[in-house]
Amino acid sequence: MAERVVISVDPGAVDLNLKVQDVFGHVLDLFDLLGHSGEATDDAIAWRLVSVSMNSPLLVVAEAIATRPSPSLDIDNLARSQKSRFARNVSELKRGRVPDAWRGAREVKRVSRAFNAEQPTTTRMQLETTGAEAPSVVEVTPADLSVVATALETAIAEATVKPKEQVGSIEGQLLEVGFYYNNPAIKLKERKSRAEVWCIVTEAHRQEVASETNFEDVWAGRRVLVEGIIVYDRGGGISRVVADSIHIVKGAQVQPDALHDPDITSGLTPAEYLERFREGTLG
């Protein structure tokens, strides 16, 4: 059986007067967000309608299909990955932050429509898998919608403020290769702040960057040096980098003998050396 998603929508109290268009539009926006979860393979998958139940709550069942024939693509595996990313994005949204994959202008509009506080519904998304494990469940209640609204206000405000930019470089651990606002990018953990930063690879430098890095670098979590335009957020933290070049930082091999210094204590015993160190009398 193909990978499935089951979405149920409880429209709440009758006096809310939710229109049919509102509820079905809500479901469509959820599937659009599912298909924009920040993965390079998002466009390889579509969600085929399996069934619709009009009883309350509204129940929609869909399953993953390939958008184009390709024997090299494992659609079930890609669908599981997309659903997992979607669940994390919704979880981040419920914690009060719009995830990076949904910060594009169109995605923010979809989030705003899908989780509209003026049209409170309880939405339950059951992400079924073909394996033996139990399906994961993502639920958004009316109580979550005010948190989402605040997150959206912050994201929109950040988008309208011109960020500070400067040419420079950052260094960090390579975490992920993917897309940021539909642009090829890498994510790294910045060395000083330990913040996760997306580094966008421009079209002009894509081939150069691709030749410098590979999947083994990601799996090994290697250190990278990224040069380009550093974009800062309103708080002064690094928001993203538009990369001109990305280089793997190769550590030097040092032999233990090279670190050994028999005269480090200047003839003092270890106890005498530590005593003078504590007293601050080392010459």
Query: CA-to-CA distance for 108 and 35, rounded, in angstroms?
Result: 14
What are the pLDDT digits (tens) for 116-164? Answer: 877 767 777 776 655 545 557 888 888 888 888 888 888 877 766 666 8
Rg over CA atoms, the chain? 25
Q: Is the pTM of this model over 0.95?
A: no
Q: What is the average pLDDT across 32-54?
A: 84
Distance CA 167, CA 243 (A): 10
Instruction: Report the pLDDT value the prediction gives residue 50, as an integer from 0 to 100.
Output: 93
What pLDDT score does 103 carry? Answer: 82
Neighbours of 95 (CB within 10 A): 12
Regarding predicted confidence, which is higher, 20 or 169? 169
Mean pLDDT (whole number) for 71-81:
84
For 250-268, what is each residue's pLDDT tens digit?
A: 766 656 666 667 777 777 7
Helix, strand, coil fractions of the chain, as percent rounded to 5: 35, 30, 35
Any idea what DSSP says for residue 239? Answer: E
Residues forming a β-bridge with 62? 5, 49
What's residue 132's pLDDT?
Answer: 46
The pLDDT value recorded for residue 48 is 92
Token couple for 170: 């950052």
pLDDT value at residue 115: 86
Q: What is the pLDDT of residue 190?
A: 92
Q: Specify whether the CB–CB gap between 154 and 193 falls below 8 A.
A: no
Place of tokens 């998304």: 125
pLDDT tens-digit readout, 86-124? 888 989 988 998 888 888 778 888 888 888 877 767 777
Predicted local distance difference test score (pLDDT) of residue 68? 81
Pairing state of beta strands 223-232 and 238-248?
antiparallel
Residue 38 C-beta-side C-alpha neighbours within 13 Å: 22
Closest CA to 141 of 12, 280, 275, 279: 12
203 and 197 in contact (C-beta within 8 Å)?
Answer: no
Residue 45 CB partners (closer than 8 Å, separation 6+): 35, 64, 65, 66, 67, 75, 78, 79, 82
Q: What is the DSSP letter of 235?
A: T
What is the three-class DSSP state of 166? strand
* CATH tag, 164-248: 2.40.50.140
The average pLDDT across 50-69 equals: 86
Ranges for all domains in the chain classified under CATH 2.40.50.140 = 164-248
Q: What percent of the chain has pLDDT over 90?
A: 10
Looking at residue 230, its pLDDT comes to 92
pLDDT at 1 over 70: no
| 176-231 residue pLDDT tens | 888 887 788 888 999 888 889 999 987 777 777 666 666 677 777 788 899 999 98
Q: What number is the average pLDDT over the span 13-19?
A: 63
Q: Which two tokens stand for residue 254?
A: 């040092």
Q: What is the DSSP letter of 253?
A: P
Q: What is the pLDDT of residue 125?
A: 75
The pLDDT value recorded for residue 128 is: 61
pLDDT on residue 241: 92
